[in-house]
Amino acid sequence: MTTETIRSIPGLFVSALKGGSGKTILTLGITAALRSLGKEVAPFKKGPDYIDAGWLSLAAGNPCYNLDTYLIDNDTVVTSYLTNTKKLGADIAIVEGNRGLFDGIDIDGKTSTAETAKLLNAPVLLVLDCTKSTRTLAATVLGCLHFDPELTLGGVILNRIAGPRHKNNIINNIEHHTGVPVFGAVPKLRSHDFPERHMGLVPTPEHDWAFESVENARRIVSDNVDIDRVISLADTAEPFERECLVLSKREDKKEEQPLIGVIRDASFQFYYPENIEALEEAGARVVEMSPLKEKELPEGLDGIYIGGGFPETHAKELGENKRFRNSILSKVKGGMPLYAECGGLIYMGEELEVDGETHPMTGLFPLSFSVSKKPQGHGYVVADVTGDNPFYSKGTKLKGHEFRYSKITRWDRKEDDTAFTMSRGTGMADKEDGITAYNALATYTHIHALGTPSWAPSFVAKATAYKKNK
């Protein structure tokens, strides 16, 4: 590794008073509008999120990286922000916040969007849901200004405006009482432009309508928001420099590098780009594969990584591809390392019930699953590594997150077959998570490689050992 002084670029955060205010659509639209103007945009998502990040990546034409000050320490967040904007050759950084502007896990709001914006010297553009409200919004903005005077609240976008009179009333009140400029006012959108499932639950890559939705977001912003003022606000971000560690190009010979297969398709899409990059930086080659498209594992594979997603949406196809399932089972029983998260955990179980129909899964672990209509686990987790497993040393404390609709309906437990004890979060059951067998570990806990730096080197070391011994 070498060190390099990297200077920050213009950027801003898009935030809101709460989730569901429309900030994702407007962040998409801003990102797509900037791109249409020839700007190279570095998109970021604050918080543990795969779906919004996928949309932002599509809108920017660049990977979307996650800035999460709960999962990742502050210095690493700053370094990630600087190194990734430089790597992308970006002109401007756009960061979508999560939840409300000041929402965090403690009374100090240490993990909030506001604190992350201050950490990166970036101004905030606040999206306001104006449904059935006028002058009170001015009081709300004024409250935000006074709640944290150190935060730069640089502008406001009004969302879900009922009409011209509603719009003018709110603009006049906010600008008169707070001095914060209003950059635009977006009318209530038609449901067929952005159905809730499109933006809230469905990842983008497998759907043709995703590009049309991003174009709709761009058009909405271009028609209703002063994008030049948005650019000017980003330019006010106070520049700073930081000595950052930059990875030198590895000299490993291709034939010496272990090959790790990543299942990425409509069923398994939840991967932080940092996790894939961390495997490569640790010395692995990565290849994508899919049980929806292929019958067997690729030749020469030395490890398998299965992320989260929605296996229930393609449970029938996953179950019918018996050759692929048996191929995984055979390799893992032969010692190949495997790491599976959430949806990957389900796929490694024996069966998945969807709408009353049961579909066979890989069968590595004695687990049966069903899918509920409400989340069964949601939020940040802390897992203490208390059991033997292929990837983590006992005593390690893992910070992660879980978001799932599935639940375990049958678990034929064996003594000491779990590696994690949850001090925060739900886990698989009874505050336990991380089921193990052979050189495989499957868990409901999602980790971020920058917050769990031992994960990728450990995985690659296991894959290297398997490669040498097979």
Helix (H) or strand (E) holding 402: strand 397-404
Helix (H) or strand (E) holding 341: strand 338-341
CA end-to-end distance (rounded Å), the chain? 31
411: left (phi over 0), alpha (psi -120 to 50) or beta: beta
List beta partners, residue 401.
380, 446
Give the closest residue to 325 by CA, choosing from 280, 364, 366, 277: 364
Q: In 2-150, which ranges are E strands?
A: 2-7, 11-16, 41-46, 65-67, 92-96, 124-129
| 3-class DSSP assignment, residue 160 | strand
Question: 468: which residues sit within 8 A by CB, 6+ positions away?
Answer: none
Q: Which residues are catalytic?
A: 342
Residue type present at position 16: A
The answer to whether the CB of 367 falls within 8 A of the CB of 432 is no
Question: 370: which residues sit within 8 A by CB, 6+ positions away?
Answer: 352, 353, 354, 406, 407, 409
